[in-house]
Structure 1
Amino acid sequence: MDRFTRNYSIALAVLVGLALVFGIKSTWQPKAWNLDKILTSDEILADYPYQFRLRSLENGVATISTPRSFDIPAMRFLEIIHPNLAGLAQDDPKMVAAQQELIDHQKRAMGLMLAQPQVQTVDWELDTQWLADHGVQVPKRGQPGS
């Protein structure tokens, strides 16, 4: 092997090694994993059709997944987990009860996180993967309807 090829190979190996180290470091969040276990092991949350998950913990901010946002109204999500609600009006008592159930579960997830000493606040992040898995297209920011 000539000198250039050897040096090039070494430099390339160092760059790949650094990329791996930074990649692992950015996903290595044992504190977040432990907090996520609190959400997934809670009996009340575990019984709900949607599993709230901790996405990240940074600077005291716990980011939890949610199936709804301003772009995806609660009714769309509720019709997926409760097909018997499809076509009901937003003020139908069954729909109102389902919305309250969702709110109660989100509040519980939030309360469990805020009860942890390393968490000062909670943010919500739309679970686009769950929605996509259930046939819901999520509009991208900047597109019509977003």
Structure 2
Amino acid sequence: MTPSTTTSNRSTRALLRAVVIGALLLMMLFIGNHLAYAQPLPTPTPAPQPGPANPFDGVSPDLGVLGPALNSTWKRILAAIWGGCFAAAGVYLVTSFLKLKKARNRGMSSDLSDASEDVKFSLYCLAGVAAVSPIFGAVLLLVQPAA
């Protein structure tokens, strides 16, 4: 390969990466904007159909009937698990950055590529743990019955 071909491949990849990232950001902005201002669609009145009635019609999950003590207990347990996941992801991120620094100081390309993959994966883990709440919020927004 000639140096100009390598440079053009890199610039093409960089341009493609920038276009994909820009498209993803625009998509997230578009979806987020429409989720924030979405109005529930009017539900058409269904035609009566023969057969047994749905016994779960109008029923939504609620743990409040088991008492306020259990309601607060499961929330504390869930918060502790989520906090532990944040701590584990943070420790994994720090150790992978240290592994990357160590590989750079040694100058070994195979260790450097392994360490950079670890850093990427740890960032994905941290982003996934942080995205749990918005994902569940969006799902609940989409599936909740019209008020």
- Whether the TM-score (by the shorter chain) exceeds 0.5 is no
Which structure has the larger Rg? 2
- Choose between structure 1 and 2: higher helix proportion: 2
The TM-score normalised by the length of structure 1 is 0.29
Choose between structure 1 and 2 for higher RCO, CA contacts under 8 A separated by at least 6 residues: 1
- Choose between structure 1 and 2: higher strand proportion: 1
